[in-house]
Structure 1
Amino acid sequence: MICQRSACGPIGRCMPILFGLVLLAGCGRSFDKMGEARTAYALRGEGSIVIAAIDEPDLPGFVDGVRLALDEINAKDGGLLGRRLSLLVMPGGDEIDNLRPTIRRIAADARVSAVLGHRDSTIAVPASVVYNAARVLFLPPFATEQQLTIHGFRYVLRMLPDNLVMASQSANLARLFGYRRMVLLHSRDDYARELAFLFDDAARREEIEIVFRGSFFNAEENYRGLLGQLNGVDFDAVYLSTETESGARVLRQMRELGLHQPVIGSDRLNFGSLIQAVGQAGDRTIVPIVYGIQSSGARNAQFIAAFIQAYQQPPNQNAAQGYDSMQLLAATIVRARSTDPQVLATTAHHAPPWAGLTGIYAFDTDGNLYGKSYSFQILRFGRWVALPQVTLPYLLSRFGDYQREVALEQEAAPVTEAAIDDPRARGAPTPAAELEQTRSDAPAGAENSVVAGADADAPGVRAMPSAGEDAIEAAEPPAPALDLAALSDRRMDRAMRNQIWLALAQELLEFKRLALVVQSTGEGDTTLALARQVAAQRGFDVVTCALPAVMDDAQRGVPQPEPERGPPDSPPDMTAADPNPSRPAGSPDAREEPSRAWAISGATPLEKAALTCWSRLARLADAMLVIPQNGLEPAYVKRLNRTLRQFGVPAFALSDSLEADYGLTVALVSSGVNLNDPSIGLRFQGVLKDMRVSDLHRKLVNLPTVSANLDALAELGIRPPLEELTVIARAIEPTILSPPSPNPNPSPTTATEQPVP
């Protein structure tokens, strides 16, 4: 336990809460009455919705980001729930005694629905006691101490992953870089001490030995006595948990003493202008971040343009955190249809995942954050540059850990009679009678558009119907647990990689019947063979439908005179032929005759064949693996997949790159990183231990970047467990899905304006 290891002892660990209790005791007015007044103001539905934002002197840009989001909401919709948003900006600080009047004033203002701010955990934790008692929703943007959410407060939501996540990611990165012997240095404050102890534990799990531990006071100027003890110590790197100013002094004095090992720092090392404070001594310093101005995506591009227009300078990480905080709060208000903090807190705790600029947000009932994770950047030659894709091993390992925990729980759980009687629960093939009930004839001219894909001699696959019929391939019982660690094996080929990727997709979407629309081409045959092999291993069925392999210009979609049809992004009309348009999409009745609900007028022959396949497979499968190289225009595939979603079937893809929007629910895409590119590999020179950059490249090249369309998941009713969100590296936007190539010549930026992968 951290409290047992702390130099201050258990009482020292409780000091922030004790400060909060002092704040409660020092206020004459009942906090219950404050909460009642706040609820009454919200229920009246009159006046402005007031949001308090704390203007911290060492967080430039944060309030600007909040104000930008607030102004956009007011300009676009005239506010929320018919009421304007108003911003109450209050001064911040790093001394709790000086901030007591500010905290009390916010708590006593019945108009304030939420507070955005208080950077430091030593302020945020005691303030949370007051805000919780007064029923004010509290979103601290940078507080990461575990104490923030261990007390069961209803009104506190983390906006950054906590110190445990930060320490675990940093230790995983250290192992990835080959570090086996490390020095651990931290300043003597609660935040730095907690993070250091957590890193110590995480390093042990990663089989890293801590060969030296040391601590210091932030206010000290001379650390040479402490650092001099490292002469003669054999170590690979340093973990440094402290603030920017003290960290800069440590780095300068380390280099003066001839200690040139790489340094992994805490997020606070990134709060100030470290480049100006440390100079060249900061080279090869690595810090965690959650936002980079060079991140890809339409959402970030719009944010940057709007911020520059409003403030005549580019945004930094602080601004992005402020913007996300306000937009997340607004989304919660809209979902809750109320500004009552009691309703807002409950809504936030149970809302589906939400995508912001800095990551994915989902909360448990204690306000802990899931989905969001850290990236890393390194200071090289006087500028910050991203370390692309180095977080993927951590994301995949955490997902693997969770899957193993679930498997152990399932092994320990008793088997019910219902599960024994249900053939699907045992992975049994779909009964032939059920298939016969769902068959329908193909449209004229598409007699061969649905063919059997089964090989009667293939292991684990039974003989299936002949050409012109739907083919379902039945598989063997499930295989052992998913081995994601194998993806880092330098000897792995593409075929084995794709097997693991498809198995990972099944873990995420939990499908039992997988649909494929294939052509007799190299890519189609390879994908079909892949699906068969993984199905035999993992116990799901494969449903296939064939597209013509030989096409003329009209079939390929080369421009031809054709009748007008709906906009390319609009889904086919699913209700025009439906005798009961009021029934929910995806219900059993809605899946009975899907061919009647799919519009085919005006499609090319190839599109007609594709529409036949999609419509027939919609009632036979619960997921579709999309092959992008199928001769169809991406816009048309997007329409088909969006309509497929209305039948309750998600579409996903496994690909080296995706350069268009196919309407996917999930995508597993190659990281796209080539560390052998000198402009990228230079970032890692002098940082890796006993390995070359090419060795690191082989560890990362087979790892997938998992993206998900959160709106599509919600529409499909798919609610991944919070722990599974860890593996989702990004939210799908209607733009390019491939990870951007890191800029080899990034412009100089401040410590919080950094590119991330």
Structure 2
Amino acid sequence: MRRKAIAFIAAAALMTMCLASCSRAGSLSQERDQALRKQTGDILVGVAWPFASRNDGFREGLQLALDEINEHGVLGHRLQLIEQDDNNSVTEGLEIAQSFSGNLKLTAVIGHRSSAVTVPAAQDYDHAGLLLLAPSSTAPALTASGMERVIRLIPNDKQIGSAMAKFAFAQGYRHAAIFYTNDEYGRGLANAFEDEAERNGTQIVDRVSDYKDLNDLRRLADKWKLLGCDAVFVAESMPEGAALISDLRKAGVEAPILGGDGLDSAALAETAGEAAEQAVVASIFDPTDKADAVQQFVRRYKDRYGAEPGKMAAQGYDALQLLAYALTKAGTREPSKLAETLKGTKSWQGVAGLHSFDGQGDVSGMPIILKRLEGGKFHYLP
């Protein structure tokens, strides 16, 4: 009886703590909505990104959108960005998340770049009632936990991994190996590729997440040849992905390289050189698309910055334009209403394609584009 009583008391205490936490989260969300409902002046938006180390045109895309939006304003006011550099660090990202979450004047946050940072930071934002627009984080865990104010602006790892496995099958590859980084991004992408490969009849002959040196890779190369490996799927980000591909070629791996969106960077050719030739990677933006919205964006970006926009520039631009759309559509800066508006949005046209959102906040219907590296440059596949 005594043990049962102690267990009951412990369970009751745990339940009380959970209820208190949920109640506090609810009060914070309501407090933010109430404060923003009455707020006048600039609409404040936090941006968390590794600007110094992995910007890739993201800030430029944001700034282009900001200037366009502020020409006319939103709800009679201007947007104002509060930028913070998270250095692609979980620790620094969480510090920024706590700072943003404590600022009741903030309406939304755009960021972070890495899923490893965004997934834990999203908990803070949702708890504080902030809307989070995630333009780069593809880990399924981001939207799987039922958070109410998280909106993902890029296909998730399941969608991208599945698309790459279908491409592998269409190319006639039937015995693939997977090399992945052991983090949120790498595991999710590798799992999705493997699941779709099994469904369509492509055999996964090996799955590896680490190697010691070139000798280690040479042993792998010999093993893969014996197993008839005819493609290697790399679930890795840059710049580590380029180094891995270079080492694979040095070790004697001759099979075609396929990769997720983490390898979608001009730095792939610059870093890996000849080793990356003919690699096919996934992307979500095609600057050669003839659609008016895309060509206007490309032209304005080139005129201003003297370079062609890449994926991250497009994502920065679309993230802010989508927020402006939600503000106008909802008629308020309350995050709860903005999230509700976005989750009901179908076929919003961004420069990276049409965006529709489901009840979890995941984007659907957005095109996944394939690119092949030839002559040191990416060429878009039909």
TM-score, normalised via structure 2 length: 0.88
Q: How does 1:348-747 map to 2 (within 5 A)?
A: 348-388=342-382
Q: 1:475-513 deviations in whole A, cap 9, x for unaligned?
A: xxxxxxxxxxxxxxxxxxxxxxxxxxxxxxxxxxxxxxx
Match among 133, 143, 153 for residue 139 of structure 1: 133
1:577 equivalent in structure 2: none
Distance 2:220 2:88 in 1: 27
Distance 1:327 1:243 in 2: 27
Match among 55, 60, 82 for residue 59 of structure 1: 55
Which amino acid is the alignment partner of residue 57 of structure 2?
Answer: G
Q: How does 1:300-379 map to 2 (within 5 A)?
A: 300-379=294-373
1:89 equivalent in structure 2: 83
Cα deviation for residue 103 of structure 1 reads 0.9
Cα deviation for residue 34 of structure 1 reads 4.2
Cα deviation for residue 163 of structure 1 reads 0.9
1:256 equivalent in structure 2: 250
1:286 equivalent in structure 2: 280
Are 1:71 and 2:87 counterparts? Answer: no
Distance 2:132 2:157 in 1: 19
2:119 equivalent in structure 1: 125
2:167 equivalent in structure 1: 173
Cα deviation for residue 61 of structure 1 reads 1.1
Cα deviation for residue 134 of structure 1 reads 0.7
2:143 equivalent in structure 1: 149
Which amino acid is the alignment partner of residue 346 of structure 2?
Answer: P
Cα deviation for residue 232 of structure 1 reads 2.8
Which amino acid is the alignment partner of residue 69 of structure 1?
Answer: A
**With CA pairs under 8 Å and 6+ residues apart, which has the higher RCO, 1 or 2?**
2
Which secondary structure state, in structure 1, belongs to the residue aligned with residue 178 of structure 2? strand
Q: 1:657-678 deviations in whole A, cap 9, x for unaligned?
A: xxxxxxxxxxxxxxxxxxxxxx
Match among 258, 263, 271 for residue 269 of structure 1: 263
Alignment gaps of 5+ in structure 2: 1-20
Q: 1:137-170 deviations in whole A, cap 9, x for unaligned?
A: 1011111111011111110011111111111111
Distance 1:272 1:136 in 2: 34
Distance 1:142 1:81 in 2: 27
Which amino acid is the alignment partner of residue 110 of structure 2?
Answer: L
Check conservation: 2:353, 2:366, Cα contact below 8 A. Answer: yes
Cα deviation for residue 82 of structure 1 reads 0.8
Distance 1:226 1:139 in 2: 40
Check conservation: 2:175, 2:205, Cα contact below 8 A. Answer: yes
Alignment gaps of 5+ in structure 1: 1-24, 389-757
Distance 1:352 1:257 in 2: 48
Distance 1:258 1:352 in 2: 48
Cα deviation for residue 264 of structure 1 reads 0.7
Which amino acid is the alignment partner of residue 167 of structure 2?
Answer: L
Distance 1:190 1:46 in 2: 39
Cα deviation for residue 122 of structure 1 reads 1.0
Check conservation: 1:240, 1:247, Cα contact below 8 A. Answer: yes
Distance 1:272 1:126 in 2: 29
Which amino acid is the alignment partner of residue 198 of structure 1?
Answer: A
Check conservation: 1:53, 1:63, Cα contact below 8 A. Answer: no
The alignment-based identity, stated in percent, is 29
Which structure shows the bigger proportion of residues in helix conformation?
2
Cα deviation for residue 238 of structure 1 reads 1.0
Match among 38, 47, 50 for residue 44 of structure 2: 50
Which secondary structure state, in structure 1, belongs to the residue aligned with residue 150 of structure 2? coil
Match among 185, 191, 195 for residue 185 of structure 2: 191
RMSD: 2.0
Which secondary structure state, in structure 2, belongs to the residue aligned with residue 104 of structure 1? helix
Cα deviation for residue 297 of structure 1 reads 1.8
TM-score, normalised via structure 1 length: 0.46
Which amino acid is the alignment partner of residue 242 of structure 1?
Answer: E
Distance 1:107 1:98 in 2: 14
Which amino acid is the alignment partner of residue 209 of structure 1?
Answer: Q
Distance 1:104 1:207 in 2: 46
2:6 equivalent in structure 1: none
Which secondary structure state, in structure 1, belongs to the residue aligned with residue 227 of structure 2? coil
1:232 equivalent in structure 2: 226
Which secondary structure state, in structure 2, belongs to the residue aligned with residue 70 of structure 1? helix
The 1:373–1:235 alpha-carbon spacing in structure 2 relative to 1, beyond 3 Å, is same
Which amino acid is the alignment partner of residue 326 of structure 1?
Answer: L
The 1:182–1:353 alpha-carbon spacing in structure 2 relative to 1, beyond 3 Å, is same
